[in-house]
Chains A and B, each alone.
Chain A
Amino acid sequence: MQEASDEQLIKAAAAGETAALGTLVERYKDRVLTFMAWHFSLPPEEALDMTQEVFLAVWKSAGTFRGESLFRTWLFSVARNVGLGYFRHYVAKKAESAGLLFGDEEFENIPDGAAGLLEGLEAEERRALVRGAVQALPDKLKAALLLREWEGLAYEEIASVLQVPVGTVRSRLHNAYARLLKSLGEKDL
């Protein structure tokens, strides 16, 4: 039997099937946790509390998912809304405005490209190197990268999730790729 899609599961959850919600939680809990921690610059403990809130909100509003977007896009929008609702009373949008601190509309300089930077490395070594470089990025850039590379959202969808102009998504991702190129280029082999 084929595994149920996210979209099938959220519809089942809307109809009251807790097991369907459970499957979605299982699929996405680490990804939502990571998104909350990065996008709102939260320590893991708080991000975990927020992640619970996100799934609570998903459950409560499952009936409003109309299937006009991917479930993932909807989920991360709910996550961002939950985070914002929380911060509205807590630190008054500090997390949202923090984006400006590192020049959200600026495109950073790109080092001269050298193809084959990661050639000749063992797969495990390469993975560790790349993960380390990602970890070192500013939180906001990591959050955008998560949505783009690992959740596979188009940049217009990311803009809709984060409620920022597409230019901001472009600059965040651009800066993430540029910084990664730089740090991978500087690696000691």
Chain B
Amino acid sequence: MSCDKDMKRDVLLLAAGLLPAARAGGVEAHLAGCPACAALRQAVLEERAALKEAGAPLLAAGRRFSVTPELTAAPARRFAFALAAAAACFAVFVLLRGEPRPVPGAPGGGMTPAPSGGFSVAEGSGPAPSDLLLKLSGRRAAPVYISGPRS
């Protein structure tokens, strides 16, 4: 036999570290006397360990990202976007190497302020993608080439 849906839900949440602390005591007490729920908890723990072991099935880009100083770049690339830090004395852009293709829409910089108060993102700041590069003077950084996984 097995316990009701609500108890099984709480057992799973407990094993996954998702159960509010106020409810944990009751579930622990139940687990002590219920082999079925104890087995469920064990199964969830094993499942989580297996997830960690397997690693995330990450998508691989199959293209290359590169971050280079603007001076090494062609001026009007479809995949070039200006990157400007407030205090930075040089510009960088992220360039996607690959055949050009249409863009589905423009991002417009419409980021909403982040909620938690821990950080925020400036509303509407920064260039539109069509502005490509922000000209900033100053020192040049060495190019950094970042290769994605080859597909």
Partner-B contacts on A (CB < 8 A): 13-19, 21-22, 25-26, 29-31, 33-34, 37, 44-49, 51-53, 55-57, 59-66, 68-69, 73-74, 77-78, 81-82, 84-86, 88-90, 107, 109-110, 112-118, 123, 126-127, 130-131, 134-135, 145-146, 149-150, 155, 160, 163, 169-170, 173-174, 177-178, 180-181, 184
Is B85 a contact partner of A81 (Cβ separation < 8 A)?
no
* Shortest beta-carbon distance from B29 to chain A in Å: 18
CB within 8 Å for A114 and B12 given contacts A18-B92, A29-B65, A74-B118: no
Q: Which residue from A15, A56, A169 sits with its C-beta under 8 Å from B94?
A: A56
Is A113 a contact partner of B144 (Cβ separation < 8 A)?
no
Interface size on B, as a range, is 35 or more
Expressed in whole angstroms, the Cα–Cα distance for A46 and B103 within the complex equals 8
Is B107 a contact partner of A53 (Cβ separation < 8 A)?
yes
B89 at the interface (CB under 8 A from A): yes
On chain A, the residues within 8 Å of B141 by CB distance are 17-19
On chain A, the residues within 8 Å of B119 by CB distance are 64-66, 68-69, 74, 77
* Shortest beta-carbon distance from B134 to chain A in Å: 10
Is B61 a contact partner of A48 (Cβ separation < 8 A)?
yes
Give the A-B contact count at a CB cut-off of 8 A: 252
**Which 8 pairs of residues, A with B, have the shortest CB-CB distance?**
A113-B40, A22-B144, A16-B88, A85-B110, A115-B42, A113-B43, A68-B118, A90-B105
Within 8 A of A (CB), among B44-73: 44, 46-48, 50-63, 65, 67, 69
B150 at the interface (CB under 8 A from A): no
On chain A, the residues within 8 Å of B122 by CB distance are 60-61, 64
Is B18 a contact partner of A170 (Cβ separation < 8 A)?
yes
Q: Which residue from A30, A49, A109 sits with its C-beta under 8 Å from B103?
A: A49
Would you give the 0/1 interface string for B1-18, flagging 1 where the beta carbon is closer than 8 Å to chain A?
010010011011100111
On chain A, the residues within 8 Å of B126 by CB distance are 56-57, 60
On chain B, the residues within 8 Å of A184 by CB distance are 47, 50
Expressed in whole angstroms, the Cα–Cα distance for A77 and B118 within the complex equals 11
On chain A, the residues within 8 Å of B44 by CB distance are 113, 177, 181
Is B142 a contact partner of A19 (Cβ separation < 8 A)?
yes
B125 at the interface (CB under 8 A from A): yes
Is A150 a contact partner of B56 (Cβ separation < 8 A)?
yes
Expressed in whole angstroms, the Cα–Cα distance for A130 and B65 within the complex equals 29
Closest to A149 in B: B51
Is A131 a contact partner of B116 (Cβ separation < 8 A)?
no
Is A131 a contact partner of B87 (Cβ separation < 8 A)?
no
Closest to A178 in B: B12
CB within 8 Å for A174 and B18 given contacts A16-B89, A31-B58, A115-B39: yes
Would you give the 0/1 interface string for B105-122, flagging 1 where the beta carbon is closer than 8 Å to chain A?
111111110111111111
* Shortest beta-carbon distance from B142 to chain A in Å: 7
Within 8 A of A (CB), among B133-148: 141-142, 144, 146, 148
Expressed in whole angstroms, the Cα–Cα distance for A68 and B16 within the complex equals 25
Is A114 a contact partner of B43 (Cβ separation < 8 A)?
yes
